[in-house]
Structure 1
Amino acid sequence: MPVTLVEVAARAGVSPATVSRVLNGNYPVAEATRQRVEQAVRELDYVVNAHARALLHSTSGIVGVVLNDAADPFFAGIARGIQTAAAGTRRLSIICNSEGEPSQEFAFLDLLRGHRADAVVLVGAAPEDEEFRTESAARAKGLQTNGTRLVLCGRPAPSPSAPGDVVAIDNEGGARAITQHLLDLGHREIAYLTGPAGRTTTTARFVGFRTALEQAGVPLDQGLVLGGDFSRRSGQLAVQNLLAAGKRFTAVAAANDLMAAGAVSALREAGLRVPQDVSVVGYDDLPTAVDVWPALTTVHVPLEEIGRLAVELAFGGSGMQTTVTAPTHLVVRDSTAAR
């Protein structure tokens, strides 16, 4: 049978209320008393009953994290930041992988609401779809009614009135900066590899690329814009298709580092040198960016800091809809050169 709080109290020679105060840390207790209680907890191997605590205190100690792709190092980096910050508040992080499917995301939200999660953090781009936004706003209000704080990472709020905070990423600004870097090096024929169509991150990064070209007076060649899905393989296939079609380009700008790595692989297979023949840039500054040869010029996104900010907003925010933008910056390495 599990050890009870009453048994801990008896071992420590204090009341059950005193044990509860020590475990919750929400009431002053004499140091000698606290040490006796903690020793009794260790000796009896007592574990707090989370369900009982939730019923008593209207808190579960759970932070739900819903990711588009748990295997992607971009999402893993943010999840690491969330988990570390949540652990600092003595809360348990539960990671849910939606695989980018709206129906799965909504199912996880409903499950986390049923478990009375203290907070839910949604990480990753959202579909640019009115039905999805309407449904998301309804789920946000349901979570609020349940006492669960909602934070969105890397996606906008579904509506101005929807409850929840936002940790935004300056995707457009970062894409403008890295495109300007290529333009400053003299590149004018720049291939662009996009992410999945109809996703907020994909759109913002492409807008930044297009805006930089427009400001430089360089026309956008739609024949040099190919779709991908943020995977390494899609970047490799896109560049292979460009080469097979005989397209002329001196640089490749990929919407993330994984696709950029695939682009480098395809160029090498074709006997082209990076950056002497073709420059390549990515986005996100994942750990793999320095493992690619040559090391990848990219846009740094502070992934763990984004996770930490999400937890801060969840438990230290005003309760109103607040947006904090995580800055990005250009990281120049060896995969780009003057034309």
Structure 2
Amino acid sequence: MAVTLADVAARAHVSAATVSRVLSGNYPVAEETRARVMRAVDELDYVVNGPASALAAATSDLVGVLVNDVADPFFGIMASAVQAELGGSKLAVVCNTGGSPERELTYLTLLLRQRAAAVVITGSAVDAEEHTSAVASRIRRLAANGTRVVLCGRPSTAAPEGTAVALEFDNRGGGRALTEHLISLGHRRIGYVAGPADRTTTRHRLDGHLAALSAAELAGDASRLTVHGPYDRSSGYAGALALLDREPSLTALVGANDTVALGICAALRSRGLRIPEDVSVTGFDDLPFSSDMQPGLTTVRLPLQAAGRRAGRLALGHEAAPVGGVERIAFTVVERGSTAEPPSRGGVPRSSAAGCVG
């Protein structure tokens, strides 16, 4: 017997009206209540909009694009590229999760209910077993209903095998290559301002950084020289100051992304340190502003626009999926003026201000 809305309500200990509000997303519902309802949906394997689900392959012209923050250039570039590829053939709906795991699950449920033609999920995943399982359950149901699911910049492990195509960024490789670049210049005291600890992208980029340190036998103090925070400018600023207070002899700071690197640069200026003469700085992603910073930011370039367009074509079914359903997107290390040898190897002594304006 098919699971009903009433069954979900009983399992979650709420009214059927509350379940309906959570699934529609049109009314404010307490986060705790929303989480309880979505947990019941997963446990009962409830398929939203049951009558419609009986219509095999009856999908709409809607394509959902899930992003963490549409105002962040990283996500904005990819969402724009997906939408450009769709042209006028499909209606692209950008779903801004704001980094909320609960909101991500709600959007996936709504797209399931609307029988979306495709769903493109961008960026990192929350690195927690319960959330991973809940997302996988929704992806499985979307695929069963005929919806094409494309992961763009999210690990293939976020989806059950055979339910999605994954375009994976080589975050580990990029993180390792950046730190190897710093080590090759002679840096031995390297601080790292990482992203949120519960994100897969954070873990993978940090894994690469630690692998480079380990290979050079420099990993002994790595945990003390690593701080975590959001992927934003203020996190870079606060993280850099905290690391400088812990270890004033730092000669290089690695930012989790280019926006974090902006904050790092501002923090160094506030301490009267020059970039790169006193401290070298790196970012990640090669966002549009990175080349305009003074000096230009050394970073890892990810082909965000090309990946977004590829995701759009896969969502439309205009290109064949890669063998095995997974495609690794290559990175490029872009060396600019924000990195140089540390002072002990030919740099000038630390002195007053300037550097990295952006």
Deviation per CA, 1:36-83, whole angstroms, max 9, x where unpaired? Answer: xxxxxxxxxxxxxxxxxxx99934222110101111110011111111
CA 149–91 in structure 1, closer or farther in 2 if over 3 Å, else same: same
Deviation per CA, 1:203-235, whole angstroms, max 9, x where unpaired? Answer: 000000000111112234222111121100100
Is this contact kept in 2: 1:164–1:320, CA < 8 A?
Answer: no
State the AA in 2 paired with 1:332.
E
In structure 1, what is the equivalent of residue 326 of structure 2?
323
In structure 2, what is the equivalent of residue 293 of structure 1?
294
Matches within 5 A, 1:298-317: 298-314=299-315, 315=317, 316-317=319-320
Given the alignment of the two structures, is residue 170 of structure 1 paired with residue 173 of structure 2, yes or no?
no
Matches within 5 A, 1:14-163: 58-87=58-87, 90-156=89-155, 157-161=157-161, 163=163
Is this contact kept in 1: 2:187–2:251, CA < 8 A?
Answer: yes
CA 294–318 in structure 1, closer or farther in 2 if over 3 Å, else same: closer
Indicate which of 330, 333, 340 corresponds to 1:337. 340
Is this contact kept in 2: 1:163–1:321, CA < 8 A?
Answer: no
Is this contact kept in 1: 2:57–2:145, CA < 8 A?
Answer: no
Q: Structure 1 unaligned runs (5+)?
A: 1-54
In structure 2, what is the equivalent of residue 214 of structure 1?
214
Query: Could you tell me the TM-score, scaled by structure 1's length?
Result: 0.80
2:341 counterpart SS class:
coil
Superposed CA RMSD: 1.9
2:107 counterpart SS class:
helix
Is this contact kept in 1: 2:59–2:147, CA < 8 A?
Answer: no
Tell me how far apart the structure 2 counterparts of residues 158 and 326 of structure 1 sit (CA, whole Å). 17
1:318 Cα shift? 4.8
Tell me how far apart the structure 2 counterparts of residues 281 and 325 of structure 1 sit (CA, whole Å). 23
Is this contact kept in 1: 2:63–2:90, CA < 8 A?
Answer: yes
In structure 2, what is the equivalent of residue 234 of structure 1?
235
1:223 counterpart SS class:
coil
2:71 counterpart SS class:
coil
CA 245–155 in structure 1, closer or farther in 2 if over 3 Å, else same: same
In structure 2, what is the equivalent of residue 260 of structure 1?
261
1:134 counterpart SS class:
helix
Q: Structure 2 unaligned runs (5+)?
A: 1-54, 343-358
Deviation per CA, 1:185-216, whole angstroms, max 9, x where unpaired? Answer: 00010000100012100000000000011111
CA 220–306 in structure 1, closer or farther in 2 if over 3 Å, else same: farther
Tell me how far apart the structure 1 counterparts of residues 185 and 204 of structure 2 sit (CA, whole Å). 23
CA 319–141 in structure 1, closer or farther in 2 if over 3 Å, else same: farther
Tell me how far apart the structure 2 counterparts of residues 57 and 141 of structure 1 sit (CA, whole Å). 15
CA 319–205 in structure 1, closer or farther in 2 if over 3 Å, else same: closer
Tell me how far apart the structure 1 counterparts of residues 257 and 213 of structure 2 sit (CA, whole Å). 19
Is this contact kept in 1: 2:168–2:326, CA < 8 A?
Answer: yes
State the AA in 1 paired with 2:196.
P
Tell me how far apart the structure 1 counterparts of residues 56 and 226 of structure 2 sit (CA, whole Å). 56
In structure 1, what is the equivalent of residue 284 of structure 2?
283
Tell me how far apart the structure 1 counterparts of residues 190 and 305 of structure 2 sit (CA, whole Å). 31
1:147 counterpart SS class:
coil
Tell me how far apart the structure 1 counterparts of residues 295 and 321 of structure 2 sit (CA, whole Å). 45
- Say which is worse superposed, 123-132 or 269-278, in terms of deviation: 123-132
Tell me how far apart the structure 2 counterparts of residues 271 and 150 of structure 1 sit (CA, whole Å). 49
Is this contact kept in 2: 1:150–1:163, CA < 8 A?
Answer: yes
Is this contact kept in 1: 2:193–2:255, CA < 8 A?
Answer: yes
1:237 Cα shift? 0.6
Tell me how far apart the structure 2 counterparts of residues 70 and 62 of structure 1 sit (CA, whole Å). 18
State the AA in 2 paired with 1:275.
P
1:162 Cα shift? 5.6
1:327 Cα shift? 0.6
